[in-house]
Amino acid sequence: MSDTSAGHSRRYEIRIQGHLPSRWTTWFDGMSLTAESDGTTVLEGPVLDQAALHGLLHKVRDIGLPLLSVTQLDTDTPRRLT
């Protein structure tokens, strides 16, 4: 059973070091991938709940890419977690 008590899903931006080809989009559950000129990649998209967010972070960990930041987008003041 999914945790819907927290309401609708929220958009997150996850920034990692290194460029990932767009092929990884499906792997990251449909998050969009944008390669930035500073050598980082931004994953952006809706995340169902905290469990889903941690699942995404595990995937980042498992491929050994340095995690730079996690930001929640659709609040008035973006909350930075790292």
Partner 1 sequence: MESPLVETKLYIPRLRRSLVARPRLSERLSRGSEARLTLVSAPAGFGKTTLLTAWLAASADEPRSVAWLSLEESDSQPGLFWTYAISALQTAVPGAGAGSLALLRSGQAPIETVLAILVNELSAVPNEIQLVLDDYHLADGPDIEAGMVFLLEHLPPHVHLVISSRADPALPLARLRARGELVEVRAAELRFTLDEATDYLNEVAGLDLTANDIAALEGRTEGWIAALQLAALSMRGRTDVASFIAGFAGGDRYIVDYLVEEVLRRQPGNVQSFLIQTSILDRLTGPLCDAVTAQDGGKAMLESLDRANLFVVPLDDSRRWYRYHHLFADVLRTHLLDERTGEAADLHRRASQWHDENGEPPAAVRHALSAGDVERAAGLVELAIPALLRNRQEATIRRWLDLLPDEVVRVRPVLAIGLVGALMSGGEFESVEGRLRDIEDLLGKPRADMVVADEDGLLRLPGAIQMYRAALALVRGDAPATIRHAQLAVDRTAPDDHLTRAGAAALSGLAHWGSGDLEAAHRAYSASVEGLRRAGNISDILGCSIALADIRITQGRLGDAVRTYEHALQLGSGSGGTVLRGTADMHVGLSQLACERNDLAAATQHLLRSQELGEQTWLPQNPYRWRVSTARILQAQGDLDGALHLLDEAQRVYMGDFSPNVRPVPAARARLLAAKGQFAEALSWVREQGLSVGDEVSYLREFEHITLARILLSQYTAQRTGASAAEAARLLERLLTAAETGERTGSVIEILVLQALTQHARGDTAGALAPLERALTLAEPEAYVRVFVDEGPPMQVLLKAVAKQRSSWNYVRRLIDACGSTPVSSPTRLVDPLSERELEVLRLLGTDLDGPAIARELVVSLNTLRTHTKNIYAKLGVNSRRAAVRRAAELDLPAHRSR
- Closer to partner 1 by Cβ: residue 10 or 25: 25
**CB of residue 72 to partner 1, shortest distance in Å:** 22
Interface residues toward partner 1, by CB under 8 A: 1, 18-21, 23-27, 35, 39, 41, 61-65
Asked whether the CA dihedral 73, 70, 64, 39 is positive or negative, the reply is: positive
**CB of residue 81 to partner 1, shortest distance in Å:** 16
Asked whether the CA dihedral 43, 71, 53, 2 is positive or negative, the reply is: negative
Asked whether the CA dihedral 61, 47, 25, 32 is positive or negative, the reply is: negative
- Closer to partner 1 by Cβ: residue 2 or 5: 2
